[in-house]
Amino acid sequence: MEATQPYSLQDLADACGGEVVGDAQTLIRGIGTLEQADPGEITFLTNTLYRDLLSKTRAAAVILGPSDRHATALPRIVSDNPYACYARIAQRLFPFPQAVAGVHPSAVIDPAARIAASASIGPQVTIGAGAVVGEGVVIGAGCVLGAHVVLGEGCWLYPHVVIYAGCEVGARCILHSGVVLGADGFGMARDQGGWVKIPQIGRVLIGADVEIGANTTVDRGAIEDTVIEEGVKLDNQIQIAHNCRIGAHTVIAGCTGISGSTRIGRNCRIGGGVGMVGHLEVCDGVTVSGFSLITKSITQPGVYTSSIPSQPHRIWMETLANLRALPQWVKKLRALEQDIQKLKEE
C-alpha cells in the first residue's frame, strides 16, 4: 500500500523523534516487513532474532534501536523505542481518513438530538432524543445511538456500532464495526424454578482515546456504571460484563471474557482468550498470559499464567491420568509425613 505522498527520511524521523543515520533525503512511499519491503519503503527491526534479515531486505531505509545502529549500511532511523517510532511513522504515511461533514438524507435523527455542524453522519444512522454528537465525530453507516448518548469530539464509529441509551463515550475514541455498548448485563434472580430479570439501570462510561475492536461488547451496569478509563485498548470479540472497571491504558487481547464486577487496574496487559471470574480485583501493572483463567484477585504486579501448553494426545492422556490420581498421592504423602513425624518424636 502506497502512502498518499512520499516523505523524506528526515521528515519521518522528526515525526517520531528518532535520529537519521545516512541519507536524510531518502524518499519513503510506504512500509514493509524486512522480508517483503520494496525499494521506496521503510522497514523496522524490533526483535534481534530477525537481525540477519537486514542484509537481505530491499527496503530503502530501516528503523532500529541503538544496539543495532551499525548493523546495516542502509539509511536508517535510530530510536530508543523503534516500535513506537514505526507506529508514528505509519501514522504520518497513512493518516486517518478525513470525513466530509454533513448528514446523509437517509439518517433518522430525533429533533431533540444535538449534532455538531462538523460531524459526519452516514446513511441509515439512527440517533435518539437528547443524544449529543461532538465536533468532528464520524458515524458510519447503520450505526444506532440511543437516547441521551454522548459522543465526545473526534470519535470515529465504523458501520453498525450500537450504543444503548444513556452511555457516554469520551473524545477521540474509535469503535469498530459490531461494537455494542450498554446492552443489559446478565442479571437474573432465581425464583420457583425460573428466572426473574433484574433491570440494568447503570450506564457504560468510556474515557478519552479508547479503541474498541470489532464485535466487542461492554454491558451496562446493574445499578452503578461500567467504566472503561482513558487510553484503554480492547481487541476484537471481547466480553466485558456489567459493573466492571478497566483502568487507564490497559490493553486486552481478543476473545477475553471478564465477568461482572471485576476491577482491573491501570497499565495492565491481558492476553487473548483469558477468562476472569466475577468480583475480582487486579492491581496496576499486571500481565496475564493468553488463555489463562483468573479465579482470585491479584494484588502484586507481575506476570501470571495458568494455561497448559498443547501436547501430543498420548502424552496429554497420560498427564490427565496422573492429575486424576493426584488426590490419592496427596493423601499418601500426608500419611507418610505423619509417620515420619511420629518416628522423629519417638
Name the amino acid, one letter, at 186: F
Q: How far apart are CA 1 and CA 195, in angstroms?
A: 54
Q: How far apart are CA 76 and CA 43, in angstroms?
A: 9
Q: How far apart are CA 241 and CA 254, in angstroms?
A: 15
Residue with cell 500426608: 334
Residue 70 annotated to the active site: no
Residue in 148, 242, 249, 279 annotated catalytic:
242
Per-residue cell: 135: 465536533
Residue 52 DSSP class: G
Q: Is residue 246 within 8 Å of residue 227, measured between CB atoms?
A: yes
Pairing of strands 76-78, 19-21: antiparallel
3-state secondary structure of 254: coil
Q: How far apart are CA 248 and CA 237, in angstroms?
A: 20
Active site residues: 242
